[in-house]
Structure 1
Amino acid sequence: MKKPMKFNRRGFVTTSAAFLFAPQVLRAQSNPVIRRNVSSFALHEWQDHFDALGRGIIISDTNTMVLQHWTLDGEMRVYPTSVPLTDELTRRGYTEVVEKRENPGWAPTPSMRIRNPEWPAYVPGGDPTNPLGTRALYLSWQYYRIHGTQDTRKIGRRSSNGCIGLYNVQIEEVYDRVPVGTQVKLI
């Protein structure tokens, strides 16, 4: 004669868990989920912002922290950026590249000096503490730049006093590809 089965709490919980999760396990084995790292930014089309490529176009999205650059022949590249700390420091709209400088010197703006009186009055180009990095694109707006940074922790963050920052190696690439007169839009 068969011995009657004994039920205990541990056996009940184990059996219930196996019964409840079996469909998920079987589904996972038969239909594997492939997860991809999907970036949080959406790319822009230059035609949505400009009538013609002209000498080239830069669109910098301050919300998603990405800069897109189109060359005269329509080739587009994407770069992660740092952006201004606050909306009050952020200027948006149309401008253009009016000057380019290798190893630019840096002086804080008058408003930066008020907020941070301990900052130096000037930092020469090539100095490892220079916040403009190795290259800078000067925009038609006074004090606004697209530039490199020595502090790579700033990229992908709200960390600047108004400018758009790129890794030094990437601003050097953009610098070489961007002529003066390139159209720029900060959104």
Structure 2
Amino acid sequence: MSKFNMKNTSRRSFLAGSAAMIAAPAIAQSTSTVNSQATTENERDLSEVVRRNISSFRTLDWRPYFDSTRNGAILVDIDSRAVHYWSEDQSIYKLYPSSVPLTQELTRRGRTQVVRKVEGPSWRPTPSMLKRNPEWPPYIGPGPDNPLGTHALYLSWTYYRIHGTHDTRKIGRRSSNGCIGLYNEHIAELFAQAKVGTQVLLI
């Protein structure tokens, strides 16, 4: 076989394999209504590469938002779908893409704080979630089907959390019932840095 044909064959195999990998999560997750595509804003075909406005996903200074970084500070920018973190001594700054609430009615803004940290969280839908989605299970334990991913930071507002997600399609989209979602590797990193008492501002 010529080098040209080998390259074409390899490229076709790679593209076919990639298409299968993209399709597989959607098929697997259709069995769980909680993690289904219906709970995610469908801006366009989920297999399409989304080009976002990079200027909206930018580094920020903490000073316009907090009086100090005592206990650390987390800023959730719902409009740009980003989470910012500053350590108490300001030596650490992190910027993460996030998922945000599906609608303005589900969105809450203002000041709160981390009141609890849970690795391997379990999940129970709120009464309002069950009213909107009566087919949802009343409880999901830790694991790959859990909507809270691998780690969760519980906020002082009832039912509100910053947490991970196993469904990576949700990141960068309006896809939650009020919480803020991060990739599992990002929430694990933030979980290690943040502590109970870390101040949180959602804007």
Match of 1:64 among 80, 89, 97: 80
Say which one has the larger Rg: 1
State the alpha-carbon separation in 2 of the partners of residues 133 and 73 from structure 1: 29
2:135 aligned partner:
118
State the alpha-carbon separation in 2 of the partners of residues 83 and 46 from structure 1: 21
Moved segments of 4+, more than 6 Å: none
Percent of paired sites with the same residue: 61
Which amino acid letter does the alignment assign opposite residue 141 of structure 1? W
State the alpha-carbon separation in 2 of the partners of residues 154 and 101 from structure 1: 21
1:79 aligned partner:
96
| Deviation digits for residues 37-61 of structure 1 (CA, Å, limit 9, x no counterpart) | 8443343321111111101000000
CA RMSD of aligned residues (A): 1.1
| Deviation digits for residues 142-167 of structure 1 (CA, Å, limit 9, x no counterpart) | 00000000100000000000000000
Match of 1:90 among 98, 107, 130: 107
| Deviation digits for residues 56-103 of structure 1 (CA, Å, limit 9, x no counterpart) | 000000000000000112021100000000010000000000000001
- 2:199 paired with 1:183: yes
Number of aligned pairs? 150
Which secondary structure does the structure 1 equivalent of 2:96 belong to?
strand
Q: CA deviation at 1:125?
A: 1.2
In structure 1, list runs of 5 or more residues that go unmatched.
1-36
**TM-score under structure 2 normalisation?**
0.72
Q: CA deviation at 1:129?
A: 1.1
